[in-house]
Structure 1
Amino acid sequence: MTDTSTTLKDLILDRDDDLRDLLHVLLRRANLRQMWLLFIDEHGRLGDPLMPMDDYPEDPHEDVEVDDLGRVDQAHLLMHRSGMLLEATGNASVVLVWERVGPSTLDDDDRAWAGAMADAAVSLGVPLRAQFLLHNRGIRQLHADDWI
């Protein structure tokens, strides 16, 4: 980031560490419980839009009835909608950031949502690039062994 003419949106994020560092610059640290939906474009850059959602449900496995999908759980619905936004915006992959006040250690809510969203992404064929936890002191990437 030494070239001052380069903006954050110009950065190629082909390594997870680069993506984590960019998210740290953008989001800094947690202020409340919310989920950030971000996109990566076909060139590996941060795409538009960046969407915070502060009212996502408590339980990713809670069933909900929706007109276009029927009865599905909350994680399936949220990932389905993320996939629709991905397609509508022409981006290549989804990034999820789970923001909540607290330490960097995962709690049951973090594990439940991260695991359910990873499963839903696979079952729906939505390219989920990465998931992160934004906490009191910064950001950490989540990996499958964090929720299995």
Structure 2
Amino acid sequence: MTEPIITDEEVLRHVTGLVGEAYRRQLWLMFLDADDLALPVLMPIEAYPNRPTYPHLEKIAGAIAEMVAELQAASVILTWERPGPGDSTPDERLWAAALGIACEVRELSVRAQLLASREGVRHFDKAEYFAAAA
């Protein structure tokens, strides 16, 4: 039986088990229900520009909103996958901050954002990505 994904460590284990080491540049969407159980949908988004633009933010946030409604999800986990070192880039920090805000405006709950690189998966915390946006 599936166990709830409650702690940050459980989120990290869940995402690591699904994504693992990064192979290509893409954003993964994973959804949790109201009981913090993982829903059986994993959605990759590959086609997005290096820097966030309003049309692309709207498209991705809109897709997240549609999936949340369709799945009756309570929250989404965003995982930014790309080959390379484990440190985030300025563009990744901008994307994480901008998409987090776009989801917040739509009243979508983002459970966590993570970064998957050749060094593995790690949490991509607000303090890290909002520092770049300031």
Aligned match of 2:51: 59
Unmatched runs of 5 consecutive residues or more in structure 2: none
**Distance (Å, rounded) in 1 between the aligned partners of 2:32 and 2:44:** 16
**SS of equivalent to 1:116:** helix
User: Structure 1 vs Structure 2: percent identity of aligned residues?
Assistant: 28
Q: How many residues align?
A: 130
Aligned match of 2:60: 78
Instruction: Give the TM-score normalised by structure 1.
Output: 0.82
Tell me which structure has the larger Cα radius of gyration.
Answer: 1
Residue 15 of structure 1, CA deviation: 0.5
Indicate yes or no: 2:16 matched with 1:24.
Answer: yes
Residue 48 of structure 1, CA deviation: 2.6
**Distance (Å, rounded) in 2 between the aligned partners of 1:119 and 1:11:** 29
Instruction: Give the TM-score normalised by structure 2.
Output: 0.90
RMSD: 1.2
**Distance (Å, rounded) in 2 between the aligned partners of 1:39 and 1:11:** 14
**SS of equivalent to 1:35:** strand
Runs of 4 or more, structure 1, over 3 Å off, are: none
Task: Choose from 98, 106, 120 the match for 2:102.
Answer: 120
Greater helix share, 1 or 2? 2
Partner AA of 2:26 in structure 1: Q
Q: Is the 8 A contact 1:79 1:126 kept in 2?
A: no
